[in-house]
Amino acid sequence: MPKAADRSHLPGLERPLASYRREWLFQRLGWVALGLFLLAAALGLLGPGGLSRARSGPPALLVSYDRFGRREADLPFTVRCRPPAGGHTLRLAFAADCLQDAEMRWIRQEPDSAVAGGQGGVTYVFRRDPGAAEVEVEWSLKPEFAGSRSCRLASEGAQARFRQWIWP
Amino acid sequence: MEQILRTIGIYAFLMLAFRICGKRTLKDITVFDFVLLLVLSESVQQALTSDDFSLINAWVIIATFLFLDVMMSLAKRKFRFLDRLMDGEPVIIVRAGIPLEERMAKERIDMDEVLEAARQNGLESLDQIKYAVLERNGSISIIPAGD
């Protein structure tokens, strides 16, 4: 009677070919999934860029934003305001939902002042050239949560509203 | 998109850098090599993540590396020249018990390493070696001489 150590262990390793094929198929499906995931990222479905770019609001308050953002990463915005002629200031009001659970990283141009509004909103006041037809303001937020977020902006009687999805 | 391009750039650079450094195996790694790898990974990590510390960014980076690796393995299988270019070729360093000095010098292999590989194969002298081959992964294979 041969001892267990003397017998070959190789026959025990053999599995039906179908079992290997299932594993190979699983791997190849995984490669395709990886490729699709990267394609989605490249197109801008998993963060800023490409298909993620969107606009919202009337011509007097046109906001460019990304539909998809990432938690703890910069999320840029641009707004083009067309205020009524005359006047030396522009008021841009952020509703509370815009700034909730997010850190304002920077804002350009530099606002003259910021006034806390009701229910957690903030109104930024910018100096402007009375002759300029358009004023552009850029800012970047760093969302501190993942999930859906909405934002409402108002300036000189015009309003814009949009929604974003923040990936974890 | 920028993240993917950045990852591809780092993959390509690392591949080139390690190719230039020649064949080394992890089993032969020194303490300094190990520290160097740690420092290297730290600097690569900063370049990869930049200011984006989100989970999805980490997934994109990992997926890019793995996808590149799978695609590269498929490409190397299809195009032999790519395989040779990326991984090099095995080099015979001892033939019929005679060390091929120039090859050993260029590959930075000394006789002690060949003899160590011989001992691991139960051989005690160069005469007993038919071929010693420096493999692409940096290990040394020994083919014993027949009786």
Distance from CA of B60 to the nearest CA of A (A): 7
CA proximity to B141, closest of B114, B104, B123: B114
pLDDT value at residue B94: 94
Residue A1, pLDDT above cutoff 60: no
| Interface contacts A/B by beta carbons within 8 Å | 58
* A47: Cα within 13 Å, side-chain hemisphere: 27
Model pLDDT for residues A4-43, shown as the tens digit of each residue: 666 777 777 778 888 888 889 999 999 999 999 999 999 9
Distance from CA of B4 to the nearest CA of A (A): 7
Query: What pTM value is reported for the model?
Result: 0.76
Residue A84, pLDDT above cutoff 60: yes
Distance CA B123, CA B121 (A): 6
Q: Using pLDDT thresholds of 50, 70 and 90, give the confidence band for residue A87.
A: confident
Residue A104, pLDDT above cutoff 60: yes
pLDDT value at residue A42: 92
- C-alpha B81 chain-centroid distance: 17
Query: What value of ipTM does the predicted structure carry?
Result: 0.74
pLDDT value at residue B24: 64
pLDDT value at residue B66: 94
CA proximity to B61, closest of A50, A25, A70: A70
Residue contact A34–B57, C-beta within 8 A: no
Measure the N-to-C terminal CA separation of chain B; round to a whole number of Å.
Answer: 62
pLDDT value at residue B102: 93
Torsion angle of C-alpha atoms A24, A25, A28, A32, degrees rounded to 10: -170
Distance CA A156, CA B5 (A): 42
Q: Write B14-17 long-range contacts (CB < 8 A, 24+).
A: B14/B44, B15/B86
How many Cβ atoms from other residues are within 10 Å of residue B54's Cβ? 21
Q: Using pLDDT thresholds of 50, 70 and 90, give the confidence band for residue A112.
A: confident
Residues of A in contact with B53 (CB under 8 A): 72-73
Is residue A167 less than 8 Å (CB to CB) from chain B? yes
> Of A38, A44, A70, which is closest to B67 when you measure between CB atoms?
A38
Distance CA B24, CA A135 (A): 60
| Closest-approach residue (CA) in chain A for B61 | A38
Model pLDDT for residues A51-83, shown as the tens digit of each residue: 999 999 998 899 999 999 999 899 999 999 888
Residue contact B54–A44, C-beta within 8 A: no
- C-alpha A119 chain-centroid distance: 24
> Of B2, B60, B67, which is closest to A35 when you measure between CB atoms?
B67
- Going by the DSSP 8-state scheme, the letter that residue A46 receives in this structure is S
Q: pLDDT tens string for chain B (147 positions)?
A: 778 888 999 999 988 888 887 766 666 778 888 898 889 888 888 888 878 888 999 999 999 999 999 999 999 999 988 888 888 889 999 999 999 999 999 888 889 999 999 999 999 889 999 999 999 888 899 999 875
Q: Using pLDDT thresholds of 50, 70 and 90, give the confidence band for residue A164.
A: very high
If you average pLDDT over every residue of chain A, what do you get?
Answer: 87
Distance from CA of A35 to the nearest CA of B (A): 7
